[in-house]
Structure 1
Amino acid sequence: MLGDLYQAFGPRLFYFLIGAPIFIFVLSKIYLLRKRGMRNGLKKPPGPKGWPLIGNLLDMPTSNQYLTYMDWGKKYGDVVGVDICGRPILILNSRQAIHDLLIKRSAIYSNRPRMELLNTWGRWDWTLVLMQGSEEMHRQRRMLGQCLNKGMIPRYHAAIQREALDFCLRLAKTPENYKELIDHMSGANIMMITYGHKVKEEADENVERVHDVFSEFIKLGNAGSHIVDFFPALSALPSWVFGLDFAKTMKRLASLMDSSLIDPYFQGIREIESGVAKSPSMLHTLLDAYTQDDGSVEHERSIQAATGVAYLGIALIAGGDTTMITICTFLLAMMLYPEAQRNARAEIDALLKNERLPTFEVRGSEVPAIRRSHDERSFQPTAPLAVAHQSTEDDVYNGMFIPAGTTIFPNTWACLQNEDDFPEPDVFKPERYLDGVTLKEGSVLAKEFAFGYGRRVCSGKHLADAIVWMNLSLLLAAFDISLPTDKLGNPIMPDLNYEYGATTVHPKPFQCKISLRSEKHGELLRASLNASEGADRSN
């Protein structure tokens, strides 16, 4: 139909006929939004002065948003308000503001803004991460809670430890491929724990699909920043209106999201029926809970979505991607702060006597070195901005009016740069948390900021925490990590300017010298993996 109009009227009149109603709609929408936000006697949150009609549209940063937001916080305060074409946005730059609104008042600050671009054109509407409040959202959270609550994680310890040992042995052979090996380990954990699927030695289509989704996702820039997200009615237009490349990206992303929901789920079903799938897994747990006497599966679509979220959403936001970044950042820290590495190793050796490797059984013992290194995430946090929240009711905070429908950006980066909580935040300083072997009273742990806030905290936080802990523990115990040198023996320094992606910041590629501490440590790794695989075969 639009093509016929284009042929009938020519390009100029065609774009006028399309553009004029949109322009009128936008103006009326802005007017109504601004009028709704006015309250007598209440001030708006302070922020940069905007322009008529468009508000702060031209002020919004296109990259490294967290840095601009932190600068605004220094100028206007911990709570900063901006306006994009009549839509209110609130930026929270302090731990106190995040706690007061997203945690203490979570009943009205736990919605998500509808990201029209991803939900309508990208087919992300089934993912819990971006889902607005609904019965389906609560059902998926209950399902994920059944499988990933803190008490359930020990069921996955054997699989996590097995993949960590396998990763370390591969790393000992080809340390220059550390990124690919971390990626393989992360994908193997996610697929085994979600579906009971053992990934292939090389390329596995399920792991590759996650990479493909992420590759298409980052082409879209900052999530929630497209004009369609601000004016959802524009989603009625064909996607090619915004460019052919854009349309191809959305088509490809939608196809990948459809296959992410369906393909690994039914592959998991087939592997369970054939006896190939390993147990325990999320899929086993949910099928056992929801299969009826007649063989039908209650809420099967929700089970597909919950496992799909664990596979894709957690893999991107709290599993594979952040595991990769966290371990790479740890390698950087060990290279740049060798004294911290020596201190950590001395404590581990004192406990394990070079006769065994760390296991989950020693996690609760007095090994401050592992705990310190694991908790130290103020040094280059992986996700400087948490996923946006949205208020569902009008509210007043410290005399400032916050209208319903306000989009809220929690600025994790600003919180972790607060020197009252994290002295010398840009320094890898794990001892900041401990007084000897005990946690300092009143310590604020950086990892508490890593998984979101309030009722929308990531369901996979305990799983991601366990995966990272085991891998960092083995790296500390079994390897020497140091700066590489050039032909003249000069250290090759890494570039610490991280790159901002769609939801995370990534270290730039760097060289790293990684080697086993001794042949005995290699033997311990091989023996531990053989024992783990033997136990797995006997189950």
Structure 2
Amino acid sequence: MAYTPTLLDAAAILVAVILLNRLFGKKPAGPLPPGPKGLPLIGNMLDMPASHEWKTFAQWGERWGDIVSVTFLGQPFVILNSSKHAVDMLEKKSSIYSSRPVIPVGGELVGWNRTLALLPYGNKFREYRRLLFQLIGSRKNMERFVPLVDSKTRAFVYELYKEPNTLLKHIQKSAGAIILMMSHGYEVKDENDPFVATVDEAMEQFAICTATGAFLANIFPPLAHIPSWFPGAGFKKTAAAWRKTLDLMCDQPHNFVKQQMAAGTNIPNFTSDLLEGELTPERETLIKNAASSLYAGGADTTVSAIQTFFLAMTLHPEIQEKAVAEIERVVGTDRLPTAADRENLPYVNAIFLETLRWNNVAPLEIYAAIPHRSIEDDVHAGYFLPKGTIVIPNIWRMLHNPEVYPDPFTFNPERFMKTPGHEPETDPRTMVFGFGRRICPGLQLADISIFLAVAMSLAVFKIEKPVVNGQVVEPSTEYSTGTVSHPPPFQSEIKPRSAKAEAIIAQLAERHD
């Protein structure tokens, strides 16, 4: 009988290679940071949590300190549990720590390494960043899009009023409508928009295929190169199918722009502006992927943050009432708040900040939650970090450190208010958008989009726990695991808070219908 190789055989060969490298390879110049003791050869593979990694990493930090290390088959991972270490390494030494690890299934096979999230540090990465910065990288650049965000958020308020039981659908549509208009001049359809559906599907697949433990090939990278006929290589068929979804996400809106430009009906946008003039095929591909990076990087994270706001308000009617009092005092009861009102709405802004902190959308880094990878040897805090070390900023721990945020698991906007004897606690925006050259390029867009959704919703809606069969339904706060963490499915009763609020919504209806 002919011998048929298995994945176990491939793993055994890989372990043998690692053992030889350990025996004859270059010796480290110093110790790694402390951490849980691993086993020979496999290191800490058995210690790695299957879900909600940030909580386990935080527990390690309590035992071994703010900088912790583990190894996977000889590959060092360093976890940063404090913003100080994150700033000192990822910002002050960003030239060393701005690359990305190779993720065999998600990056290589599915193809997410074409987008900014997984793109290695280099010239192409810098060009992506340059293009996106010109669009929305500063407050000044973002100013021209504030009317768009305002308009789409008003549409969100009206649609939520009409269908209050489909909150998630409305949030997804609103986020998609804003970004697709900016990136491709595309007007999202009222129901079942194909572009929005495709990106939602692609982002669900991204969360799985970039997770370390989801595919064995993400742990044993050489397995990504075995033939598709090899026993146990079914993951390659999955990756090929998911690659088609990603292709659609990138190609459909790009081709839409080209068709509109040819017909003379294009609405000026990021893609069309860059497609003007002579183009090489390489340049066009870069533009297409940069535009896709904008959408992929912002849609899912914004959706999760606005969901978190509605969950928090469902749990805390007393916070709503205080915010409404401020809005009525500053804005009145005849219109919705705008971006211009923001500086006069400190409590509403504090709710926005606490929304970012309380259950941050990407606990291990907001822009796609992908770790950093060093491109040179480094010594940090007395520890030796060899070239290729994977560095994971545990932003969840930073935002739930009781020394920085007392009573960190309580939703408390007042922590960001200056009062007698109390200075505002650290602005979470210094952490939630990432660090160094990998900081989220869409942070200005996220900032205004989430704030306006918070302010306008508070102005007109009363958000409460539903009552079913005489029983109050208590929502869960156990967030999902994955690259972008979402609230659990929850019910809220959302209705106009007054006759004047309903009159404001009626004015929106005249513009929307």
Residue 439 to residue 106, structure 1, CA distance change in 2 (3 Å): farther
Q: CA deviation at 1:528?
A: 5.1
For the residue of structure 2 that corresponds to 1:481, the secondary structure is strand
For the residue of structure 2 that corresponds to 1:408, the secondary structure is strand
Mapped partners of 2:75, 2:214: distance in 1: 12
Mapped partners of 1:379, 1:25: distance in 2: 42
Tell me the alpha carbon deviations over residues 135-177 of structure 1, each in whole angstroms, 9 at most, x when there is no partner: 2111111111111212221221122111111111111111111
Tell me the alpha carbon deviations over residues 279-311 of structure 1, each in whole angstroms, 9 at most, x when there is no partner: 3x21233235xx24xx77882111111111112
Q: CA deviation at 1:408?
A: 0.8
Tell me the alpha carbon deviations over residues 166-190 of structure 1, each in whole angstroms, 9 at most, x when there is no partner: 1111111111111111111111112
Mapped partners of 1:257, 1:225: distance in 2: 18
Q: CA deviation at 1:33?
A: 5.8
The aligned counterpart of 1:524 is 504
CA contact (8 A) 1:240 1:246 kept: no
Residue 352 to residue 19, structure 1, CA distance change in 2 (3 Å): closer
Mapped partners of 2:213, 2:441: distance in 1: 22
The aligned counterpart of 1:272 is 261
CA contact (8 A) 1:381 1:413 kept: yes
Residue 439 to residue 360, structure 1, CA distance change in 2 (3 Å): farther
CA contact (8 A) 1:115 1:224 kept: no
The aligned counterpart of 2:4 is 14
The aligned counterpart of 1:190 is 179
Mapped partners of 2:171, 2:321: distance in 1: 23
1:120 counterpart letter in structure 2: E
1:81 counterpart letter in structure 2: S
Q: CA deviation at 1:354?
A: 0.8
The aligned counterpart of 1:431 is 414
Residue 412 to residue 221, structure 1, CA distance change in 2 (3 Å): same
Residue of structure 2 aligned with 1:410, choices 393, 396, 405? 393
1:357 counterpart letter in structure 2: L
CA contact (8 A) 1:240 1:247 kept: no
Residue 258 to residue 110, structure 1, CA distance change in 2 (3 Å): same
For the residue of structure 2 that corresponds to 1:251, the secondary structure is helix
Q: Which moved more, 1:203-212 or 1:513-522?
A: 513-522
Tell me the alpha carbon deviations over residues 334-391 of structure 1, each in whole angstroms, 9 at most, x when there is no partner: 122222111111111101121221112222x321122101111221211111220011
Mapped partners of 2:130, 2:421: distance in 1: 32
Mapped partners of 1:21, 1:370: distance in 2: 56
The aligned counterpart of 1:449 is 431
CA contact (8 A) 1:112 1:130 kept: yes
Residue of structure 2 aligned with 1:396, choices 379, 384, 390? 379
Output aligned runs, 1:295-374, within 5 Å.
299-311=283-295, 313-314=296-297, 319-363=298-342, 365-374=343-352
CA contact (8 A) 2:10 2:223 kept: no
Tell me the alpha carbon deviations over residues 403-437 of structure 1, each in whole angstroms, 9 at most, x when there is no partner: 1100011111111111121111111111111115x
CA contact (8 A) 1:483 1:491 kept: yes
Mapped partners of 1:495, 1:256: distance in 2: 32
Identity fraction in percent: 33
Tell me the alpha carbon deviations over residues 45-90 of structure 1, each in whole angstroms, 9 at most, x when there is no partner: 1111111111111111111111111111111111111111111111
The aligned counterpart of 1:170 is 159
Mapped partners of 1:52, 1:510: distance in 2: 45
The aligned counterpart of 1:253 is 242
2:439 counterpart letter in structure 1: V
CA contact (8 A) 2:54 2:396 kept: yes
CA contact (8 A) 1:114 1:131 kept: no
1:483 counterpart letter in structure 2: K
| 1:505 maps onto 2:495 in alignment | no
Mapped partners of 1:472, 1:242: distance in 2: 51
CA contact (8 A) 2:335 2:504 kept: yes
Mapped partners of 1:514, 1:242: distance in 2: 52
CA contact (8 A) 2:94 2:436 kept: yes
Residue of structure 2 aligned with 1:158, choices 137, 142, 147? 147
For the residue of structure 2 that corresponds to 1:506, the secondary structure is coil
Mapped partners of 1:336, 1:60: distance in 2: 33
Q: Which moved more, 1:442-451 or 1:387-396?
A: 442-451
CA contact (8 A) 1:117 1:224 kept: no
For the residue of structure 1 that corresponds to 2:236, the secondary structure is helix
For the residue of structure 2 that corresponds to 1:125, the secondary structure is helix
Output aligned runs, 1:44-193, within 5 Å.
44-150=32-138, 151-193=140-182
The aligned counterpart of 2:461 is 479
| 1:463 maps onto 2:445 in alignment | yes
CA contact (8 A) 2:107 2:210 kept: no
CA RMSD of aligned residues (A): 2.5
Mapped partners of 1:323, 1:61: distance in 2: 26
Output aligned runs, 1:193-208, within 5 Å.
193-208=182-197
For the residue of structure 1 that corresponds to 2:69, the secondary structure is strand
Residue 111 to residue 440, structure 1, CA distance change in 2 (3 Å): farther
CA contact (8 A) 1:216 1:252 kept: no
Mapped partners of 1:468, 1:226: distance in 2: 34
TM-score normalised by structure 1 residue count = 0.88
2:436 counterpart letter in structure 1: G
Q: CA deviation at 1:456?
A: 0.4
For the residue of structure 2 that corresponds to 1:27, the secondary structure is helix
The aligned counterpart of 1:537 is none
Mapped partners of 1:439, 1:473: distance in 2: 28
For the residue of structure 2 that corresponds to 1:176, the secondary structure is coil
Q: CA deviation at 1:202?
A: 0.7
**Which runs of 5 or more structure 2 residues have no equivalent in the other structure?**
none
Mapped partners of 1:206, 1:361: distance in 2: 32
The size of the alignment, in residue pairs, is: 507
CA contact (8 A) 2:462 2:495 kept: yes
2:198 counterpart letter in structure 1: R
TM-score normalised by structure 2 residue count = 0.92
